[in-house]
C-alpha cells in the first residue's frame, strides 16, 4: 500500500499500516519535512488533546513524539469537570519533526520516498457498488508504483495558493510546492473537489521582543503526558507570554480592508470559524477593544516566536505596523510573514466511516483533504485510514470507530454524515457522550481494540493490563476500608474530598496515590458515578439505533410518504444505520419514523 503526504495524517497512516505488516510506501516531497508544523507548534487542546490520547491508546505515534519533544505542558479546563479537561503542549517544532522522522525511518515494512505524486492509477470495476479500484500511483519523476490501497493525506498541498496582501504564491506551505496534478487526478477519478482556506500569523525574532512588558504563562508543575507509555515528563518547561491587540491596531486593520485578500475578493473560499484571522475578529466583534495574543516559542533554542492570535493575510507593510503596535513587540523583527492559504479538499460525504471513498475501492482519504483542520484531527483520521488500508490489502474486515467510543469516531461521523462547509475543528461540545469520552480513560476505551487489530504490541498491552489491575485494586480497597464506620468510597463521593487524609491514614493506599493517573481516574469514577451510569444508559440506547442496519441497496426514492428532502439527503449520504440516518443534516424525526416503518415491512416480507 502507499501513503501520499508526510504530514500528521500521513505519518500515522504509514506507521499503522506498516506496524500491521503491510508493505508500505510513504511518498512525501521532502524527508526532512515529515510531521512539519506549518502553523502553531503545539499539540492538543480542548477536544484535540483527547484525540491525541486516543491515537496513543490505539498504538499510534503522536503521543510518544509529543512527550519526547514538547517544551511546555498544560491541562486546560481544570476549573471545569473532568469531561472537558484537555492536555495541551507547546512543541519544539524542529525536535518534533526529527523525532517523528526517526520513528518512521526505523519502522519495519516502511519505505520513505522523496517525490511527488502526479496521478492515482485505477481500473474499472463491473460487479461492485464502487466504480473503480486503485492499482497504484505515478510519481512526478515518471515512475509507477503498484499499490492495492492508497491513502491520500495531502494536507493543504492540493492546488495550494498562499496569499499575503496582493501577492499570490503557489505552494502547500512556505518553501514547498503545491500538488497541482494530484488534484486533476482526483477529479478524473470522479471525485468532487471544493476549496477551503486557512491561515497563519507572523513569526518574530525572540531577541527583538521586550519580555519585561509581558505576562508570563508557565506550564504545569506536574505535567500530564499524552502517551499512556510515558510515566513522567522529565524535560524542563519553558514559558509562554501573554499580550493583546488594542484599538490602534483595530483602526489600522479597518483602514486597510481594501487591501485585505479576505475582503477584496482575492480569497473566495471559506475559512475556519473557530480560528479566525485578526481581520475577521475585528469585523465580527466591532465593539471589542482587545483580542488576546499568546507569544509561543517554536523551540527551546529557537529564535522564532509564534504570535498566536493574529493570523492574517494583510500586506507586509500593514503586518509590520500592526506587530509594532502590540505591547512588547514595539521593536519586534518579523522573520516570517503571516499568510492565508487556499487549497482543494474532497467534500467528505464521498467517503464512508472507514475513510474509503465510495466510488473507488482501495482509495482512502485522511486529514485536511477531508475538510478538517488541525494536526490532531488529521492524525486521528490518519491512524484509522492506515489501519483500514492495511486491512483492505490483507482482505480483512475494515473498522469504524463509533461516536460512543472516541472523539475520533465523533469527528469521522460528523464529516461523513453532515459534510463540511468550513474547516472542521473538534470541540468537546460536539460529543454527546463526553463524560464517557474523557482524556484519562482513552486506554480503557481503545487499547483493547488496538490489541484486537494488532497495532497494540506486547509492551503496551502489559502496561495497560498492569494499570487496569492497579485501578481495580484501588477501587476494591476503597470499598473495603472504612473511616468512622463508612466505606471510603462514600466519603470520596463528596465534591470537596480529595482523599489525601485517607492516604496518610492507610499505608495500603500509598502506592496507589503515588501513581497519580490511577488515583485520579479512581476519584473521577467515584465522584461522577451517577453521571457516568446515566451516560452508559444513553450509550446503550444509542447503540440500539446504531445496530439497526439499513439495507445497503435501499432506494429512498421509492419509500412512500418520505419527504423529498429526506430522499435527497439519504440518497447522497447513504447512511449505514438508523443512528447515522437521524444525524444527517436536514432530517426530521418523522423521516426516521417513516424509514423504520418501511424497513419493518421489508423485514416482514423477507
CB 467, CB 461: distance < 8 Å: no
The arithmetic mean of pLDDT across residues 399-419, rounded, is 95
pLDDT at 512 over 70: yes
**What's the farthest any 2 CA atoms get from each other in the chain?**
79
Domain boundaries, the chain: 2-198+343-452, 203-341, 471-547, 548-605
Q: Which pTM was predicted?
A: 0.92
Q: What is the pLDDT of residue 392?
A: 98
Q: What is the mean pLDDT of residues 373-402?
A: 97
Q: Is 341 helix (H, G, I), strand (E, B) or coil?
A: strand
The most confident of 165-179, 339-353, 428-442, 550-564, by mean pLDDT: 339-353
The predicted-structure confidence for 257-280, as pLDDT tens digits, reads as follows 999 998 999 998 888 887 899 999
The CATH code of the domain at 548-605 is 1.10.150.570
Q: What CATH architecture does domain 203-341 belong to? A: Beta Barrel (2.40)
Per-residue pLDDT averaged across 136-162, rounded? Answer: 96
| Rounded percentage of the chain residues whose pLDDT exceeds 70 | 100
Q: Rounded CA gap, 146 and 136, in Å?
A: 4
Residue 243 has pLDDT above 80, yes or no: yes
pLDDT, mean of residues 124-149: 91
The SS3 assignment for 351 reads strand
Residues in the chain, total: 606
Distance of CA 532 to the CA centre of its chain: 25
Q: CA separation (Å) from 326 to 292, 309, 322, 412, 588?
A: 11, 12, 7, 39, 49
Closest by alpha carbon to 162, among 336, 298, 279? 336
pLDDT of residue 135: 97
Q: Is the pLDDT of residue 476 over 70?
A: yes
Helix or strand run (H / E) with residue 33: none
- Looking at residue 430, the DSSP 8-state letter turns out to be G
What's the rounded Cα separation, in Å, for the pair 519 and 513? 5
pLDDT at site 514: 85
Model pLDDT, residue 546: 83
Is 119 in contact with 137 (CB distance < 8 Å)?
A: yes
Report the alpha-carbon distance of residue 139 to residue 142 in Å, rounded.
Answer: 5
Using an 8 Å Cβ cutoff, are 314 and 255 in contact? Answer: no
Angle at 3 between CA 179 and CA 457, to 5 degrees: 150
**Which pairs from 479-488 meet CB under 8 Å and 24+ separation?**
481/506, 481/508, 481/509
Would you state the pLDDT for residue 109? Answer: 98
Instruction: Give 403: exposed, middle or buried? Use CB within 10 Å, 0-12, 13-18, 19+.
Output: buried
**Which cell is 27 given?**
511518498
> What sign has the CA pseudo-torsion 454, 459, 462, 465?
negative
- pLDDT score of 588 more than 90: no
The secondary structure of residue 367, as a DSSP letter, is G
- The dihedrals phi and psi of 145, each to the nearest 5 degrees, come to -115, 125
Residue scoring higher pLDDT (185 or 530): 185
Per-residue pLDDT at 244: 97
Alpha carbon distances (Å) from 79 to 75, 83, 84, 332, 543: 10, 11, 10, 35, 32
Average pLDDT over residues 32-44: 93
**What confidence tier does 453 reach under pLDDT thresholds 50, 70, 90?**
very high
pLDDT of 127 above 70: no
- The conformation of residue 8, written as its DSSP 8-state character, comes to H
Helix (H) or strand (E) holding 517: helix 516-527
- Dig out the grid coordinates for 238 from the structure: 519553558
Tally of CA atoms within 13 A in the half-sphere of 13 that contains its CB: 38
What b-and-e string marks burial along 236-274, b requiring 16 or more CB atoms within 10 Å of the CB?
ebbbbbebbbeeebbebbeebeebbbbeeebbebbbbee
CB 429: neighbour CB atoms within 10 A? 10
Same fold, 203-341 and 548-605: no
> How many Cβ atoms are within 10 Å of 224's Cβ, its own excluded?
21
Angle (nearest 5°) at CA 560 between 558 and 562: 95
CA distances from 565 to 358, 561, 572, 584 (A): 22, 12, 11, 11
Instruction: Please enumerate in sequence order all residues whose Cβ is within 8 A of that of 307, keeping only pairs 6 or more positions apart, or say none.
Output: 201, 202, 203, 204, 293, 295, 323, 326, 329
Q: Give residue 545's pLDDT.
A: 78
* Contacts (Cβ under 8 Å, ≥6 apart) of 378: 7, 8, 9, 153, 155, 366, 367, 368, 372
pLDDT in the model for residue 207: 97
**Rounded average pLDDT over 216-237:** 94
pLDDT at 130: 83
3.60.120.10, 3.30.70.270, 3.50.50.60, 3.40.50.1220: CATH of 2-198+343-452: 3.50.50.60
Least confident of 10-19, 60-69, 429-438: 429-438
Task: Return the pLDDT at 542.
Answer: 79
Could you say which DSSP state residue 270 is in? B
pLDDT in the model for residue 336: 97
Amino acid at each position: 500500500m502507499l501513503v501520499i503526504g508526510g504530514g500528521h495524517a500521513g505519518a500515522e497512516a504509514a506507521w499503522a499500516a506498516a506496524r500491521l505488516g503491510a508493505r508500505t510506501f510513504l511518498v512525501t516531497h521532502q524527508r526532512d519535512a515529515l510531521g512539519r508544523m506549518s502553523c502553531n507548534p503545539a499539540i492538543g487542546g480542548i477536544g484535540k488533546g483527547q484525540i491525541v490520547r486516543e491515537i496513543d491508546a490505539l498504538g499510534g505515534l503522536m503521543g510518544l513524539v509529543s512527550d519526547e519533544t514538547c517544551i511546555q505542558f498544560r491541562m486546560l479546563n481544570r476549573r471545569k469537570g473532568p469531561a472537558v479537561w484537555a492536555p495541551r503542549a507547546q512543541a519544539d517544532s524542529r525536535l518534533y519533526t526529527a523525532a517523528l522522522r526517526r520513528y518512521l525511518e526505523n519502522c519495519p515494512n516502511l519505505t520513505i520516498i522523496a517525490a511527488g505524486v502526479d496521478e492515482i492509477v485505477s481500473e474499472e470495476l463491473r460487479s461492485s457498488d464502487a466504480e473503480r479500484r486503485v492499482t497504484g500511483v505515478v510519481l512526478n519523476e515518471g515512475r509507477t508504483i503498484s499499490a492495492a490501497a492508497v491513502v491520500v493525506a495531502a494536507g493543504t498541498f492540493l492546488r495550494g495558493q498562499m496569499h499575503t496582501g496582493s501577492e499570490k504564491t503557489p505552494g502547500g506551505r512556505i518553501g514547498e510546492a503545491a500538488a497541482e496534478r494530484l488534484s486533476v487526478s482526483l477529479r478524473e477519478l470522479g471525485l468532487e473537489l471544493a476549496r477551503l482556506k486557512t491561515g497563519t500569523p507572523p513569526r518574530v525574532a525572540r531577541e527583538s521582543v521586550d519580555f519585561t512588558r509581558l505576562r508570563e504563562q508557565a506550564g504545569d508543575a506536574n505535567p500530564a503526558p499524552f502517551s499512556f507509555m510515558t510515566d513522567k515528563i522529565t524535560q524542563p518547561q519553558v514559558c509562554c507570554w501573554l499580550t493583546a491587540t488594542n484599538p490602534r491596531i483595530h483602526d489600522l486593520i479597518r483602514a486597510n480592508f481594501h487591501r485585505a485578500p479576505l475582503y477584496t475578493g482575492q480569497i473566495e473560499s471559506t475559512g475556519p470559524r473557530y480560528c479566525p484571522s485578526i481581520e475577521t475578529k475585528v469585523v465580527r466583534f466591532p465593539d471589542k477593544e482587545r483580542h488576546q495574543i499568546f507569544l509561543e516559542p517554536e523551540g527551546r533554542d529557537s529564535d522564532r516566536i509564534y504570535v498566536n492570535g493574529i493570523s492574517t493575510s494583510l500586506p507586509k507593510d500593514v503586518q509590520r505596523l500592526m506587530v509594532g503596535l502590540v505591547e512588547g513587540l514595539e521593536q519586534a523583527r518579523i522573520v516570517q510573514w503571516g499568510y492565508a492559504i487556499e487549497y482543494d479538499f474532497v467534500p467528505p460525504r464521498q467517503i464512508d466511516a472507514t475513510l474509503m471513498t465510495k466510488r473507488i475501492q482501495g482509495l482512502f482519504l485522511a486529514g485536511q483533504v477531508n475538510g478538517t483542520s488541525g494536526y490532531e484531527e488529521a492524525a486521528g483520521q490518519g491512524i484509522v485510514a492506515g489501519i483500514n488500508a492495511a486491512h483492505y490489502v490483507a482482505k480483512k474486515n475494515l473498522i469504524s470507530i463509533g461516536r460512543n467510543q472516541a472523539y475520533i469516531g465523533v469527528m469521522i461521523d460528523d464529516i461523513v454524515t453532515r459534510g463540511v462547509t468550513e474547516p472542521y475543528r473538534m470541540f468537546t461540545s460536539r460529543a454527546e457522550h463526553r463524560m464517557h469520552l474523557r482524556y484519562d480513560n482513552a486506554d480503557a476505551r481503545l487499547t483493547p481494540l488496538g490489541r484486537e487489530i494488532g497495532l497494540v504490541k506486547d509492551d503496551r498491552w502489559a502496561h495497560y493490563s498492569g494499570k487496569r489491575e492497579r485501578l481495580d485494586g484501588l477501587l476494591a480497597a476503597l470499598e473495603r476500608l472504612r473511616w468512622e464506620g463508612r466505606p471510603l468510597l462514600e466519603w470520596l463521593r463528596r465534591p470537596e474530598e480529595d482523599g489525601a487524609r485517607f492516604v496518610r491514614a492507610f499505608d495500603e493506599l500509598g502506592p496507589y496515590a503515588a501513581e497519580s493517573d490511577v488515583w485520579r481516574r479512581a476519584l473521577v469514577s467515584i465522584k461522577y458515578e451517577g453521571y457516568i451510569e446515566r451516560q452508559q444508559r444513553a450509550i446503550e440506547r444509542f447503540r440500539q439505533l446504531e445496530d439497526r442496519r439499513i439495507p445497503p441497496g435501499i432506494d429512498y426514492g421509492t419509500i412512500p410518504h418520505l419527504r423529498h428532502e429526506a430522499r435527497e439527503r439519504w440518497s447522497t449520504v447513504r447512511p449505514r444505520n438508523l443512528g447515522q440516518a437521524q444525524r444527517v443534516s436536514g432530517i426530521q424525526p418523522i423521516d426516521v419514523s417513516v424509514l423504520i416503518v418501511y424497513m419493518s415491512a421489508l423485514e416482514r416480507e423477507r
